[in-house]
Structure 1
Amino acid sequence: MLRSWRDLQSLIYLLALPLLVAWQWRRGFSWLAYGVVLFLTLGVGVIHHNHAHLPMWRSRWLNRLTDLYLSLLQGHPGFVFHCSHMANHHRYRQGPQDMTRTWRFGDHNHLAGYLLHPLQVLPVLYPHFAAWLARLRRRSPAAYRRCLLQYAAVLLPWGALAWLDWQNWLLLVLLPQLHGLHWLLATNYLQHAHADGHSRYDYARNFAGWVNPLLFNIGLHTAHHEHPHAHWSTLPTLHAQLRHRIDPRLQAGGLLPYMFRTFLLGPLLPRHRSHSLMTPPETR
């Protein structure tokens, strides 16, 4: 029933996260288990993103159940990927009409920009979500009800768990979900800050190393943009076909070394500072 056997990795992550939370809820806090939970919240965000682009199952009903389950684990309804990510970000690719373009808040690439990006983009996105839902309610009431079910899949478990033990809910559920949501939004900054939103191929940064096998090839971002409906397991092949078209400065190597160089060494050592690839208006 899976579209690809490679999504067995996705299923392992989706089962491991609530099991580790439940284990700590009953047995007590563990730093090791909590660290794995925080990592798995990153994985759930990527799985949610991948499932929105290409549903995991060949069955419509299994996909709809997975929509609800992912909304529950993510702490946010999955319909948002359709109205802002695919309909806007993938369409405009860091360009002037992309609501989530990183240069909307200044053409920079530094630690403060990375940390602030999720907080800056949320006030832009939520009015868009509300307007999209209002249009959907008029155009397709059944789809609108499915979106409301996704909200229920988040809010009802939150209420029940907070009623049972608000401290455990805060520590084991809400904070990890906020951590995952931060990375989901901030990854946009890592992938696009100082890239050229006016370029055909140089609008995204790509990462190599362990981030790809651990997080479903999320680092191969140009190939994902160029082939948004391709299964994540095919991105290494697609990236190899595109690599020669991408500015070498956007081949960033490992994610954590890139963040260390750019955000920590950059302010101290000029050779590690990021420089914008945005083309001046008069040369476009």
Structure 2
Amino acid sequence: MLPIAALLLTACGSNETGTDDSGGTASTNEAKETTIYLVRHGKTWFNTMNQVQGYSDSPLTEEGEEQAKLVGEGLKDVEFTSAYSSDLGRQRNTAKLILEQNQHDVPQIIENNGFREKNFGSFEGQSNDDMNLAVAKALDLDYPEGSDELWDFLKEQLTEEELANKVAEVDPTQTAETYDEMHQRVEKVMPEMIKEVEAKGGGNVLIVSSGGIIPIILESVAPGEYQGEKIANCSVTTLTYKDGKYTIDKIGDTTFVDQD
């Protein structure tokens, strides 16, 4: 009977999760945390010339390349398990320059067009002033004449959703994206990205996107957290993901590029 009793004691003492040295339960399925570094691309030629830049593209300026290198230097000790951009050259090249400064083995950049900037339709390549004036006139607003002042004025008058929809409404070709269309592609790309990252065991992720779409990404994963903070060229927005929930740590941080 003793061998049988011993077997019963052994069976009763077994535990699928196991125990740690202190006698507590140690889970074998502890959720892994993912940290996302969401970066806007460096300054481009279109940015410098005040031209509308969405699906259209233009190269990084020397300043934009230097911005990307500074971000890379600031993140050089971060070991990235995954890296993403869209097929837009300004995003892809910013990601490359950031990773070139890294002290670890770096992942291949995965291109996913869900991270593209907004599609501004027939306004692409035109002056930002022309697009902004078209929006202001359609709203019958008493608007300021200056370029930067007009943009800031519109941002004060309209939410991200209202502004995107008004641009789509006044686009003569009706090809500009609505807010819902942008939100839908973001809601698709983020779960795709997380699934791929978790398959690699989580870790740190670099995503290079654009100033117009980053606020929509934030609204998609953490509704109400984005409050209009400026998303400057090569600013870094940091998020963590765990147990199906995103937490925003920083929005539009320019510490790495503000060296003066």
Give the TM-score category using the shorter length: under 0.3
Greater helix fraction, Structure 1 or Structure 2 = 1
TM-score calculated relative to the size of structure 1: 0.26
Determine which structure has more spread, i.e. the larger CA radius of gyration: 2
The answer to which structure has the higher strand fraction is 2
- TM-score with structure 2 length normalisation? 0.27
